[in-house]
Amino acid sequence: MENNIKTINEINITNRSIAPKVVLQEEDLQGLLKNNERLVSICKSILRRIPDSFFSMGNILMLCDNRGYITNLTGDLEIIQWLFERSFKLGTCMNFESSGLNAVSLALQTAQLSEVKWRLHHCVSLRRWSSVAIPVEVRESIIGMLNLMTPLTIETAESKVIVQLLSDYISIRLEQNDKNDKFYYSADKREFYGTLILSTDLNLTIKEIEVIYRLYIGEKLAELPGKMSLSPNTIKSHVKSIYGKFGVSKLNDCLDEVHQLFL
């Protein structure tokens, strides 16, 4: 690890930039997010289950694509805003050419778990954290990078364990998804209804559960009015209510949240 850091520093020891050089504009950013929609969706569904207390400590989780472009940032909103004002946001490139030495740029070069401590970051704004980044792989191909940034007062040994486990879990979910785009669209109807009925915190109605079940097994949203003998507006109303109860805004995110109930 130390040799890798030394190698990068020797490439350009004076590259101590205050802000990243490459930040995608809106059109290119939308293309980035669309191309990585599955990775971002699965990652978000997993990160939502991490307790708020983890982020209230000042930890930040950064998800990048396999080129180092940020596709998701999770953490305390004030810190996310602080980073945004310093150009660390969706579409920012974290590779060495853009942002100098950081955990992501190091992991991109080494293709393995990499750590960069506060004072070694080339971008001054990142020196508040020590960072551990690791590739997210699917069948030995790197499809993204996960970077955990922890405040200077927190020991990074635990961070390495956390980021490794998260990366492994995301990889497993992506591999399942690649084997079959509808890998979670199957369920015993009685078990499905029973599980959602017993999830009293969701407070779903029987009709809402039927809508979710039909979508879960692969039926198209446009087909539901005819199959359920309901108006399109009624179906839309059910879907809107379901999204609100699961705290999501997209169908894929909703189905992913449902799938979590059966893991």
In the prediction, which pLDDT does 14 show? 43
Nearest to 96 by CA among 86, 83, 117, 110: 110
In the prediction, which pLDDT does 1 show? 44
In the prediction, which pLDDT does 4 show? 47
Burial of 10 (0-12, 13-18, 19+ CB in 10 A): exposed
Q: Show the tokens assigned to 84.
A: 């945004």
Please state, in angstroms and rounded to a whole number, the distance separating the CA atoms of residues 243 and 78. Answer: 26
Report the SS3 class of residue 226.
helix
Please state, in angstroms and rounded to a whole number, the distance separating the CA atoms of residues 183 and 106. Answer: 34
Give all domains of the chain, ordered by start, each with its CATH number: 2-179 (3.30.450.40), 189-260 (1.10.10.10)
In the prediction, which pLDDT does 18 show? 66
In the prediction, which pLDDT does 118 show? 84
Give me the residues paired with residue 145 across strands.
64, 135
In the prediction, which pLDDT does 187 show? 67
One pLDDT digit (tens) per residue for the chain, 263 residues: 444 443 444 444 344 556 899 999 999 999 999 999 888 888 887 777 777 788 888 999 999 999 999 999 999 999 999 999 999 999 999 999 999 999 999 999 999 999 999 889 999 999 999 999 999 998 888 999 999 999 976 666 788 888 998 898 888 878 766 654 544 455 678 778 888 887 878 989 999 999 999 998 888 999 999 999 999 999 999 999 999 999 999 888 898 888 878 76
The whole-angstrom distance between residue 161's C-alpha and the CA centroid of its chain comes to: 18
pTM of the predicted model, to two decimals? 0.66
The whole-angstrom distance between residue 26's C-alpha and the CA centroid of its chain comes to: 20
